[in-house]
Amino acid sequence: MTGVPLVQPGVLEVVTDHVNSAWARKVGGILLGRPIDDVTRVDAALPARQTDEYAGEIAFPPPVWEEAYAKLDEHPGSTIVGWYHSHPGSGVAMSDYDRRLHKVLFGEPFSVALVLDPVAERMAWFGWDIEQLWPLRSDEPAPAAAPVAVAAPGRGLRASVAALVALGILAGGAGGYWIDRELRPHPDRETVLELRRRLQAEDSQLRRLRGDLDRARSDLAAEQERLRSAAADLEATRRALAEARRKLAEARQAETVRYRIRPGDTLWGLARTFLGDGRRWPEILRANHSRITDPDRLLIGQVVDIPLGSGR
């Protein structure tokens, strides 16, 4: 890495706003983007909503990493390309702790670090060169290249693993935790590989869980569609039943019975027999106004219509 990162518009504003909002204490965040040729492009900065602190140093707890991974899912092809943090009033050099944290959690060749001192109003970029962490020169322009999709290297380190490693660095400080690591060529590589194997197992389980969730969502959507269809069928049945009732009422209104007058029949008696109420005899009279001339004298053998639906 020979030049400063290619920082997209708005990224530094997010970083400086975060740092200036808490200029008296150390804060930090994760940088997202992708490598382009020999330069790292920084597309976004994710301020850490919370940090763990020990002896004046900070580390990112699991929720910060989970949020970073969630942001990666929103931007396919992006990866975690580094981090930023502040040194209020103590300059922009990378401390021993910073270097160790960067080597463990941001050990990819394209990983960068940004250090800011809000009191002195200074900032400096750091990156890997010949397996060493150096300040990045700004005198060479970044190449204009099309974005290249880069898979996250084992998803970096998963939230719980990354936080555990960072807290181990905090707890160990400059002491025994790092003595064996400093004496041997690359003893921590095995640790990182083991952590990555654990990460792959976690990713596999996460994919299975996401598959189960997707199937559950699909089943729920199908059930909701079935319920909507059933509700539509029920409403159609209700409308059909209401229409059937209306037609039945109309049929009853139009229903009549033909009756031949017998000796002793009266309109009152016919109304009581057929209509259930002798007082409804005028309905029979109206239905036979052309046949019955005298309601008190019915002709034996005469045929009359009795409207069963009248008055209902």
How far is it, in rounded angstroms, from Cα 271 to Cα 276?
6
Question: Comparing C-alpha atoms, which of 87, 169, 76 is closest to residue 122?
Answer: 87
Confidence at residue 311, expressed as pLDDT on a 0 to 100 scale: 55
* Residue 283 CA: distances (Å) to CA of 201, 302, 303: 89, 17, 16
Lookup result for tokens 């790092």: 178
How far is it, in rounded angstroms, from Cα 229 to Cα 292?
58
Confidence at residue 170, expressed as pLDDT on a 0 to 100 scale: 56
How far is it, in rounded angstroms, from Cα 57 to Cα 98?
8
Task: Report phi then psi at 46, rounded to 5.
Answer: -115, 95
How far is it, in rounded angstroms, from Cα 210 to Cα 69?
15
User: Are the beta carbons of 28 and 58 closer than 8 angstroms?
Assistant: yes
**Amino acid present at 174:** A
Question: Comparing C-alpha atoms, which of 96, 30, 122 is closest to residue 68?
Answer: 30
Residue 272's Cβ-count burial label (10 Å; 0-12, 13-18, 19+) is middle
Confidence at residue 127, expressed as pLDDT on a 0 to 100 scale: 92
Q: Is 6-153+160-173 a CATH 3.40.140.10 domain?
A: yes
Confidence at residue 29, expressed as pLDDT on a 0 to 100 scale: 96
List the pLDDT tens digit at each of the 312 positions of the chain.
Answer: 556 789 999 999 999 999 999 878 899 999 999 998 888 999 999 999 989 887 788 889 999 999 988 888 887 888 999 999 999 999 999 999 999 999 989 989 999 999 999 999 999 999 988 778 889 864 433 333 333 333 333 444 445 555 555 555 555 553 333 333 333 333 456 666 777 788 888 888 888 898 889 899 999 999 999 999 999 999 999 999 999 888 877 776 667 889 999 999 999 999 999 999 999 999 999 999 999 999 999 999 999 999 886 554
Fold of 255-307: Membrane-bound Lytic Murein Transglycosylase D; Chain A (3.10.350)
